[in-house]
A and B are shown apart, each in its own frame.
Chain A
Amino acid sequence: MTRGDFETMSEASAAEVFAGGGEVGHDLAAVDWKSTPLGSPQRWPQSLRTAVSILLSSRFPMWMAWGPQLTFFCNAAYRRDTLGRKYPWALGRPASEVWAEIWGDIGPRIETVLTTGQATWDEALLLFVERSGYQEESYHTFSYSPLRDDEGATVGMLCVVSEETERVLGERRMTTLRDLGSDPSAIRTEQQMLSFAAAQLDRNRKDLPFTHIYLFAEDGTARLTTSTGVDQNGRSWPVEAVARGESELVTLDDGQALLVPLLQQGGSPYGFMVAGLNRFRALDESYRGFIELAAGHVAAGIASARSYEAQQRRAEELAELDRAKTAFFSNISHEFRTPLTLIMGPVEDLLDRAGDPETRAELDVIQRNALRLGKLVNTLLDFSRIEAGRMQARYEPVDLSAATAELASVFESAVERAGLTFKVDCPPLPEPVLLDRGMWEKVILNLLSNALKFTFTGGIRVTVRAEGDAAVVTVADTGIGVPEAELPRLFERFHRIENAQSRSNEGSGIGLALVKELVEQHGGTIRADSTLGEGATFTIRLRFGAEHLPASAIVPAGSAAPVSPAADPYVQEALRWLPDGGGEDGTPTPRQATHARARLLVADDNADMRDYLTRLLRSAGHNVEAVADGRAALEAARAQNPDLIISDVMMPRLDGLQLVAALRGDSRTASTPVLLLSARAGQEASIEGLEAGADDYLVKPFSSAELLARVRANVELARLRNHHARWRTALIDSLQEAFFVCDEAGAVIEINPTFTEILGYGPEQLPYAPVHPWWPDPASDPDGYRQVEEAFALLVDQTHGSYTIPVTHRDGHVLWVAASFNQVEDPDTGRRVIVGTFRDVTAEHYAVQREGALAALSLRLSEAESLPGTLPAVLEELRGLWQAAEVSAAVFTGAGVPVVTTATDTALRWEGLPEDQRQRLLAVRDKALLTPVAEESGGAGIALEHPDGTMALWVQLGENRPFTEQDRTLLALLAGHLGQGLHRLHQIDQQRETALALQRAILGPAQLPAGFAVRYSPATRPLKVGGDWYDTIALPDQRIGIVVGDCVGHGLQAATVMGQLRSACRALLLQNIDPAQTLTALDRFAVQLPGAMCATVFCAVLDPGTGDLAYASAGHPPAVVTHPDGTIDLLDQGRSRPLGVRSAIERPEARYTVPSRATLLLYTDGLVERRRRPLTAGIERVAGTIQRGRGAALEELATEVMESMAPEGGYDDDVALLLYRQPGPLELDFPAESTRLATVRSALRGWLARAGIDPTTAQNVLVATGEACANAIEHGHRHGPAGWISLRAAATADYLRLTVTDSGRWKTPRPAENPHRGRGLTLMRALMTEVTVTTGAAGTVVGLQARIPR
């Protein structure tokens, strides 16, 4: 097809050039194209129209440049994302003008594409563009690929681009925010925190060229704490707005700064942050938001540091207080005893002596109160002793019943005076109990005193029993009882039950605590049981035997001592409470519960227990939800996380320990506190619970008060702790990248909302154990599955890494994510976990894939040598790209049967296709060109222009593979390129065929003179003909003209020039003009013949009789002569410039005589020229080849040279080669008559002389040949009329080869029959090195070979 045909074709559809381009197409149509170098669209080449059509039909942002000025085109997506205000001004303008401000960056890249034809690829390249009215920092990922015209020359480029500015900025800012929140150390001081924050801010100078953090002092002045970036030289800032908590934009000489307050919750700002602004970015919402978030981080850090400092101070104060208390107890108690003793002694004396009843009564008061004070001091002293481990107990075997009954009797009168019954039931025990009598006294007296104090009706009962291996002592009363809530704290020191009705408001709250300590000193236990309003029972268990007591403290039994005087104060005190004892009443001071309400989750399978706990906890003001097992608890906790979970250990479905493990495995519930309740006592059980991750452990039975106290403590603790966890969760949830945490086995145990957004899998089903549900299906996408498998191995084995893999969204669509991960140690559990993030890179992936596919397709097309061979390879490429089941193409040529090509079955014909497939292809054919048609069933087709007609292409995907929008874009893009490529190949095909035909016609079947061998080889790939030629011309005087030449360039034009030069040269030589003159005449010719300039020619005239050679070379490599002995001569004289190059110097001519049996080689540079190797090296190589082959026949040698010199993969330039060996072979044909023999001999003798053969060898050859000829004449006659005999002789360096051929049949020689005649053959054999006789139906051939002595 010629250019003219294209134009005619184009005009018909010119109006459609911009059709389908929407608004951009419309605006493109409006451009005054005639004033651009591209001219009117009606005359645009097909390649440009195809490129514009691809551009406009793509939804992916693209622009292209075409022609000498790189005229600019773009599509709608590019206009939207990148072009900005430059639209529509940019359309049709030179690209260098459109992108003048970044031409320094992109110009060289475009230049590279245009000169090398190689595509470029840049990822997130920073470019300062002016599209929004200012110089703007922007990032682009783009690829430039070459566009070719109809002749295949690169005339433009296509740019596929994604605007990445938002992503790059977002990532950069997110990094800063993440760094700000990533302080690895524990909480630190305010200044440390600020320094850390400043260091993080300084790492992002692009968004924050400089920053200052100011804090307000008490007096409202601002103090600079940290600075980063450009020094502002102590500039002062307006603080009014930020002090009010508002941001303020300040304009500076060289830019702007944003002042943002560091807000304090519920207070005036801590201070403010000055953030310098990037001059190349507008202060948009996202930028402002970033700075405010950064300031928020700083403010939160200040809050945290200040609160930490305050807590630290408080804790130190408390510790100091505790030390002071201990000092008080251990030291001050002693100090009371001395003054008390000094009061008691004199008072007793005075009482003895006093007669006056009034004085006596007053002295009684003093003594009673002194006793009470003494009792209190003694008790305190006991405590400090016990605490300091200085209590010196002395355990002696005692009759517990008797001792207890005796102590009880002391109170008998007081109880009776109170109007109460007093029962002492103390039968003798089977064995004594080891007691410290002093301590036991205090135990019983305290209990009795306590009973009397709170009992108003009924009575008091003391019993002693033996139960198993212990003695059990109970002191029971029918008093007011103890509220259930108070029971657990009953034995706490200084704990007093408020509002209790009692005989006295006095009391230190220390008695029962001491009782408990003393009982425990005995290795015993004490328990209080009470029902409010019905009384209380204290039960003491003391074990028999001595095993539970230190042996050193055991003493032998002493005498049964009477009750010590120490009992007196108790009784005295008790009597004082009784009505006639003169009681003192106090008023109760109510107190309010202060703890906060909490949301509690109770899990217990026992309904009664569940109800009890619910009632108890609700009564304490909490919100309670109760469930019956661990599974229900887990679900409830995941639905709404409670403040505390109270769980039984033994439960069906999921027990308490498993529940704790499951809660801890889920990030959302990992920090929810759990209080386990268990009937299993003992340290091991509790350790097991705590190891499982429970926060507290309570053994049944437990008091209600203890439970409530533990609940309160745990809730408060958790609230403190959760403050951090909530901050972390908020941070992770705000990440724009998907975030996940895996355990060691690779199970995903934590994710953020972005994760769910990208993959569709939410936190409800956590944990996600491998194989994760988003892995590709191994059956339909084995390749994707394998990639994910490899990435997963990386994740589990390596400490950090990154990978890009395909994954399947919950809704089934496939996307690509780029993930990176790190191994870290969970600070709470010490376990190794993997923390990772990923983002959706589907768009980028497909862009890269498109680039890759385009590159692969371009490669296929550029490697292609012919149109028919290309299509199967291209279809296979497409099949590989889509992992398609089949890719088929049909070319509809008009009337004929469509030509079918498929990727998998090359032999398939149209008739062999299934009917549905034929229908599909037909349907595609009828659609608009380059418009993908997709089917539900997972296939798509597209129609494109094929040189022979319309080509319908169909890609049949595997089962259930949808054909996505991405796939459509790609298919359209590839089809466009394919169409262009096929047209280009078609043209190349045509050109090559023409050129080859021409070349063959010129080089032709010219009759070579004897003794010459020639070769011509076009360049191998792409198969190109060139301008090399060889020629031999038989001149009238028997001389032979020899020419080898090389025109510049390749293809049709070079071949044409070559033909003309060759003819001219031939004509000149025929006019008997010598070589130098011939070249000079060609110079004049070359100047007028376009393309002939600088052709190189080696021109020679040979006299084959003498070997004399006259030659001249026009810039051509030297001819090579190899002597029979291997010596090499280079014919490098007679040299001058290539044809048409002006010079004042006449072309020289040189003379040389080709020695006998020497080989002359003429060639073009394609034979010897190799990249990066000197030409001389190639000449040496070819000389070596000739040297080694000087013994071979000339044709064989020519073949050998062509083969051995060929580079791997074939010649990349065309090669002409001409070989001549002196003398040429002798060729004689004569009638089989004996009279001819003398003439033949004469001719042979002359030839042998020219071949330089010595006389003896020559004589041998003459005789042997004569015998052969004689035989031929004889046999030729025998069977009919005389035939013809032919004699051939040729020489190599070392051998002579002759053949005598006749048409007769030789008889087997029988020398015995005819001894004289048979001698002929014997003679031949004796004289020659080798003789062969081959007799066939056509005749006999005698071969003679003689070695030529050196």
Chain B
Amino acid sequence: MSTVLSFATSRDADGATVLAVTGEVDMSNAAEFSAALDGALSEAGAGPVVVDLSRVEYIDSAGLAVVFPHVDRVRLVASELLAPLLTVVGLDDVTSVRS
């Protein structure tokens, strides 16, 4: 059984492109996550992309590795559950925590 993961792209009130991720990200589906992010980035053109991880229950280093190359354009939204992990890997400066 492969890990359940789904994406939805939208715009927020500021006009930023939002990639909402639902499920779990691990090495088995990190490529899907990467493709979804690439899609969102190209959709946003030069604008920033908000990756909303607040409905992600699990993300491992494979998933995070997808984010790192784009930290200059990406802002993360995460649940309290994921916040400690993002802090540990040094993404806290681009992350806002949603309770």
Q: Which A residues contact B (CB, under 8 angstroms)?
A: 1234-1239, 1241, 1255-1256, 1259-1260, 1262-1263, 1266-1267, 1270, 1273-1274, 1315-1317, 1319-1320, 1323, 1326-1327
Q: Are B27 and A1241 in contact (CB under 8 A)?
A: no
Give every chain A residue within 8 A of B60 (Cβ-Cβ). Answer: 1263, 1266-1267, 1270, 1320, 1323
Q: Is the CB of A1237 within 8 A of B89?
A: no
- B4: chain A residues within 8 A (beta carbon): 1238
**Closest A-chain residue to B82, C-beta based?**
A1259
* Interface-lining segment among B11-19, B43-51, B61-69: B61-69
Complex Cα gap A1317–B89 (Å): 12
Which residues of B, 19-50, contact A by the 8 Å Cβ criterion? 24, 26-28
- Can you list 15 residue pairs at the A/B interface with Cβ under 8 Å? A1237-B28, A1241-B24, A1241-B26, A1241-B58, A1255-B81, A1259-B81, A1260-B84, A1266-B58, A1267-B61, A1273-B27, A1315-B68, A1316-B61, A1317-B65, A1319-B89, A1323-B60
List 19 other contacts, CB 8 Å, given A1238-B3, A1259-B81: A1236-B1, A1237-B3, A1237-B26, A1237-B27, A1241-B58, A1256-B81, A1259-B82, A1259-B85, A1260-B85, A1263-B60, A1263-B85, A1267-B60, A1270-B26, A1273-B27, A1274-B27, A1316-B68, A1317-B65, A1319-B65, A1323-B88
Q: Chain B residues near A1315 (CB, 8 Å)?
A: 68
B34: min CB distance to chain A, Å: 11
**In whole Å, how far is A840's beta carbon from the nearest beta carbon of chain B?**
98
A1326 and B65 alpha carbons, distance in the complex (Å) = 17
Cα–Cα distance between A1255 and B58 once the two chains are bound (Å): 12
Q: How far is the CA of A126 from the CA of B12 in the complex (A)?
A: 118
Contact B1 A1323 (CB under 8 A): no
Q: Roughly how many angstroms separate A1319 CA and B58 CA in the complex, as a whole number?
A: 16
Closest to B60 in A: A1266
Shortest Cβ distance from B97 into chain A, in angstroms? Answer: 13
Q: Which residues on B sit within 8 Å (CB–CB) of A1262?
A: 58
Q: A1316 — which chain B residues lie within 8 A by C-beta?
A: 61, 64-65, 68
- State A873–B58 Cα separation when bound (angstroms): 71
A1234 — which chain B residues lie within 8 A by C-beta?
26-28
C-alpha gap A1315/B61 in the complex (Å): 11
Residues of A within 8 A of B88 (CB): 1323, 1326-1327
The residues of B that contact A1255 with a CB separation of less than 8 Å are: 81
Q: Give the secondary structure class of A's interface.
A: helix
User: Which chain B residues lie closer than 8 Å to A1267 at the CB level?
Assistant: 60-61
User: How far apart are B26's CB and chain A's nearest CB, in angstroms?
Assistant: 5
Q: Sorted from nearest, which 4 A-B pairs have the closest CB atoms?
A: A1316-B65, A1234-B28, A1238-B3, A1319-B61
Whether B81 and A1320, one on each chain, are in contact in the complex, defined by CB atoms closer than 8 angstroms, is no
B85 engages A1238 (CB within 8 Å):
no
* Cα separation A1347 to B32 with both chains bound (whole Å): 35
Place the interface of chain B in its size category. 20 to 34
A1263 to B28, CA, bound (A): 14
CB proximity of B67 to chain A, nearest CB, Å = 10
User: Chain B residues with Cβ under 8 A from A1274's Cβ?
Assistant: 27
| Cβ-Cβ contact count across A and B, 8 Å cutoff | 70
Give bound CA distance, A1166 to B3, whole Å: 53
CB distance from B35 to the nearest CB of A (A): 16
A1319 to B28: give the CA distance in the assembly, Å: 17
Scoring B residues 1 to 13 as 1 if CB is less than 8 Å from chain A, else 0, what string do you get? 1111000000000
Query: Within B81-99, which residues are at the interface with A (CB < 8 Å)?
Result: 81-82, 84-85, 88-89
| Bound form: Cα–Cα A1266–B3 in Å | 13
Interface residues of B (CB under 8 A from A): 1-4, 24, 26-28, 58, 60-62, 64-65, 68, 81-82, 84-85, 88-89
The docked-state distance in angstroms from the alpha carbon of A144 to that of B45 is 112
In Å, the complex CA distance between A1260 and B84 comes to 9
Nearest-neighbor residue (CB-CB) of A1274 within chain B: B27
Chain A residues lying within 8 Å of B58, measured Cβ to Cβ, are: 1241, 1259, 1262-1263, 1266
Using CB atoms, name the residue of chain A closest to B69: A1316
- Pick from A1235, A1238, A1256: contact of B24, CB under 8 Å: A1238
Closest to A1239 in B: B1
Cα distance A950–B84 in the bound complex, in angstroms: 83
Q: In angstroms, how far is the closest chain B Cβ from the Cβ of A1253?
A: 13
Inter-chain CA distance A1273–B27, complex, in Å, is 10
A257 to chain B, nearest CB (A): 116
**Which of A1238, A1270, A1319 is within 8 Å of B2, CB to CB?**
A1238
Q: Which of B1, B62, B85, B89 contacts A1270 (CB 8 A)?
A: B62
Cβ of A1237: which chain B residues have Cβ within 8 Å of it?
A: 3, 26-28
Nearest CB in chain B: distance from A808 CB, A: 95
Interface centre among B1, B68, B82 (most CB of A within 10 A): B1
A166→B28 CA distance, assembly (Å): 108
Note all chain A residues with C-beta closer than 8 A to B24: 1238, 1241
> A426: shortest Cβ distance to chain B, in Å?
160
Query: Is the CB–CB distance between B61 and A1317 below 8 Å?
Result: yes
Q: How far is the CB of B6 from the nearest CB of chain A, in Å?
A: 14
- Distance, CA A1326 to CA B89, complexed state (A): 9
Q: Which one of B28, B62, B65, B84 contacts A1235 once the chains associate, using CB atoms below 8 Å?
A: B28
Q: How far is the CB of A939 from chain B (nearest CB, A)?
A: 87
- Interfacial chain A residues near B81, Cβ < 8 Å: 1255-1256, 1259
In the complex, A1270 Cα to B64 Cα: how many Å? 14
Contact check: which of A1235, A1238, A1260, A1320 meets B61 at CB < 8 Å? A1320
Nearest B residue (CB) for A1238? B3
Bound complex: CA A821 to CA B36 (Å) = 117
Report how far A1323 CA is from B68 CA in the complex, Å.
15
Taking a contact as CB atoms under 8 Å apart, the answer to whether B27 and A1270 are in contact is yes
Residue of A nearest to B24 (CB): A1238
- Tell me whether A1319 and B64 are in contact (CB under 8 A): yes
Which B residues are in CB contact (< 8 Å) with A1239? 1
Q: How far is the CB of B36 from chain A (nearest CB, A)?
A: 17
Alpha-carbon distance between A1273 and B65 when the two chains are bound, in angstroms? 17
Chain A: CB-nearest residue to B66: A1316
CA distance in complex: A791, B44 (Å): 117
C-alpha spacing A94/B64, complex, angstroms: 98
Q: How far is the CA of A1241 from the CA of B26 in the complex (A)?
A: 11
> Chain B contacts of A1323 at CB under 8 A?
60-61, 85, 88-89
Write out the residue numbers on chain A whose beta carbons fall within 8 Å of the beta carbon of B82.
1259
- Within the complex, the shortest CB–CB distance from B61 to chain A, in Å, comes to 4
| Bound form: Cα–Cα A691–B82 in Å | 122
B84 pairs with A1270, CB closer than 8 A? no
A1254 to chain B minimum Cβ distance, whole angstroms, is 11
Measured CB to CB, the closest approach of chain A to B40, in angstroms, equals 19
Chain A's closest residue to B2 (CB) is: A1235
Closest to B5 in A: A1238
Smallest Cβ distance from A157 to chain B, in angstroms? 81
Determine the residue in chain B with the shortest Cβ distance to A1316.
Answer: B65
Residue of A with least CB distance to B67: A1316
How many angstroms between the C-alpha atoms of A1323 and B86 in the bound complex? 10
Residues of B within 8 A of A1327 (CB): 85, 88
Bound form: Cα–Cα A1256–B64 in Å: 19
**Chain A residues with Cβ under 8 A from B3's Cβ?**
1235, 1237-1238
- In the bound assembly, the distance between CA atoms of A1270 and B3 in angstroms comes to 13
**B27, B58, B68, B81 interface centre (most CB from chain A within 10 Å):** B27
- Chain A residue, CB-CB nearest to B81: A1259
A441 to B92, CA, bound (A): 164
- Contact at A1238–B1, with CB atoms within 8 Å? yes
Contacts of A1238 in B (CB 8 A): 1-4, 24, 26, 28
**In the complex, what residues of A have CB within 8 A of residue B64's CB?**
1316, 1319
Q: Which residues in A have their C-beta under 8 angstroms from that of B27?
A: 1234, 1237, 1270, 1273-1274
Which residue of chain B lies nearest to A1319 when distances are taken between CB atoms in the complex? B61
Of all chain B residues, the one with the shortest Cβ separation from A1315 is B68
Q: Report the minimum CB–CB distance from A480 to chain B (whole Å).
A: 159
CA distance A1266 to B62 in the complex (A): 10
Q: Name the one of B1, B26, B65, B84 contacting A1259, with C-beta atoms under 8 angstroms.
A: B84
Residues of B within 8 A of A1273 (CB): 27
Please indicate the chain A residues that have their CB under 8 angstroms from the CB of B1 in the complex: 1235-1236, 1238-1239
